[in-house]
Chains A and B, each alone.
Chain A
């Protein structure tokens, strides 16, 4: 079995991805995690600049990469992530693609 697609953990669902995103974002932006909702916009609502988003992506890759080997985020897709929901949906789809 190719190591790149092998995952030894349970599948990660949207709720868990949201919790993970929320935890990392609150640490990166130094804000209360309860203020981070699915509909919150990164720029307008959370004051997250491009570097903060990259911090988030690197944290997610490190965190989720341990559970789903090879999990990465394409930099070209970052511009499409406007809300937290966008990010959660994106990560879930990438995790699904990686596990398939």
Chain B
């Protein structure tokens, strides 16, 4: 039997657990992503899920070196209520994936299934870092030809207090240092106007708590998403998720408009030149598979949540992100951010 203890053969080699059953293209994309990640990143991967279904996706049916399987009997579907499903389905792939990290059998987890269930499994099995009231999802928002923003929270905690948003700002800054390599990340508060008095009570009270911090730039508006400024945009999980989906839908509509226009007969000559450049630009900057996933902030472990439609390439990038987080001391950085940034030494 192949051991799946992390770093047993090489203490510097990371093991990343993947929920093999989560995602629109599971388990095929997860299996291929695992194989590619082992080859390209030098990590080990623990695939967690229906063993027969996983093996059916293996090229010539054999398990490559560096990839192991942990068999489970249940799957949490996309429509299931996350918290209840995690409690009821103790042998669900995403639950066992989180437990692999909790129990020290993997250094980090990647999941592309039910986002709420992935978050709940990580929260309930890892626990929260001390002082972090609620978790948040740190989502990179692509910025054409520039460094991405981080949107915090992308949908983990729908109803927030002002104090929680301040914690999201603190954790977002710590994550921006790790993810974007920015020494002193700036933070803006998503609102319906730039002036300090704009917004609902949550926004106004949060503004008052953040005001005076040298890194706080004040309110930002929806149109600032994808502008590149500031580095971190903080909001509650409800607004953040709506904003994310709005950006996603607008980009699809804009891309559709451009390519439909270029598809017209009279534009053929121009399209032959411009379309490949546009496609390359979209792939380089806007393709979610390039980003790989978003990190769950505030829990005592590394959990990367990937897009439901993740391809094998997205899984490789998610594994790379998870590995970077582990090596970069992600949990310690989040803890330092919560207890006070003066404690940060990373």
- Complex Cα distance, B208 from A84, in Å, reads 31
Within 8 A of A (CB), among B115-169: 120, 123-124, 128, 131-134, 157-159, 161
Whether A99 is near chain B, meaning CB under 8 Å from some CB there, is no
Nearest B residue to A50 via CB reads: B83
User: Is the pair A55, B124 in contact by a Cβ cutoff of 8 Å?
Assistant: yes
Q: Say yes or no for A58: interface residue by CB 8 A criterion.
A: yes
Report whether A30 and B131 are in contact in the complex, using a CB–CB cutoff of 8 Å: yes
* Contact among A28, A29, A53, A75 with B88 in the assembled complex (CB-CB below 8 Å): A75
Kindly state the separation between the CA atoms of A85 and B123 in the bound complex, as whole angstroms. 26
Interface string of A15-29 (1 = CB under 8 A from B): 000000000000011
The answer to whether B161 and A47 have CB atoms under 8 Å apart is: yes
A47-100 at interface with B (beta carbon < 8 Å) = 47, 49-55, 57-58, 75, 78
Q: Are A30 and B132 in contact (CB under 8 A)?
A: yes
> B87 and A58: CB pair below 8 A?
yes
Q: Which residue of B lies closest to A72 (CB)?
A: B87
Contacting pair A54 B161 (CB below 8 A)? no
CA distance A75 to B83 in the complex (A): 10
Q: Mark B62-91, 1 if CB is under 8 A from A, else 0.
A: 000000000000000000001110111000
* Contact present for A47 and B124 (CB under 8 Å): no
Chain A residues in 8 Å Cβ range of B133? 29-30
Alpha-carbon distance between A50 and B117 when the two chains are bound, in angstroms:
12
- Is the pair B120, A54 in contact by a Cβ cutoff of 8 Å? yes
- Which residues of B sit under 8 angstroms from A50, Cβ to Cβ? 83
Q: How far is the CB of A52 from chain B (nearest CB, A)?
A: 8
Contact B159 A49 (CB under 8 A): yes
A57 to B133, CA, bound (A): 17
Residues of B within 8 A of A28 (CB): 128
Question: Which residues of A have CB within 8 Å of B88?
Answer: 75
Enumerate chain B residues within 8 angstroms of A75, measured Cβ to Cβ: 84, 87-88
The answer to whether B132 touches A47 (Cβ under 8 A) is no
Task: Contact check, B159 vs A54: say whether CB atoms are below 8 A apart.
Answer: no
Write the B81-117 contact mask toward A (1 if CB under 8 angstroms, else 0): 0111011100000000000000000000000000000
Given contacts A50-B83, A51-B83, are A58 and B124 in contact (CB under 8 A)?
yes
Q: Could you pull out 23 A-B pairs where Cβ atoms are within 8 angstroms?
A: A28-B128, A30-B131, A30-B132, A47-B159, A47-B161, A49-B134, A49-B157, A49-B158, A49-B159, A50-B83, A51-B82, A51-B120, A52-B134, A53-B83, A54-B87, A54-B124, A55-B123, A55-B124, A58-B87, A58-B124, A75-B87, A75-B88, A78-B84
Which listed residue, A30, A51, A57, touches B123 by the CB 8 Å rule?
A51
Q: How far is the CA of A75 from the CA of B158 in the complex (A)?
A: 21
How far, in angstroms, from A58 to B157 measured CA to CA in the complex?
19
How far, in angstroms, from A86 to B89 measured CA to CA in the complex? 26
B84: chain A residues within 8 A (beta carbon): 54, 75, 78
Chain A residue at minimum C-beta to C-beta distance from B167: A30
Closest CB-CB distance, B14 to chain A, in whole Å? 28
Within the complex, the shortest CB–CB distance from A28 to chain B, in Å, comes to: 8
B161: chain A residues at CB < 8 Å are 47
CB neighbours (8 Å) of A58 from chain B are: 87, 124
Shortest Cβ distance from A29 into B: residue: B133
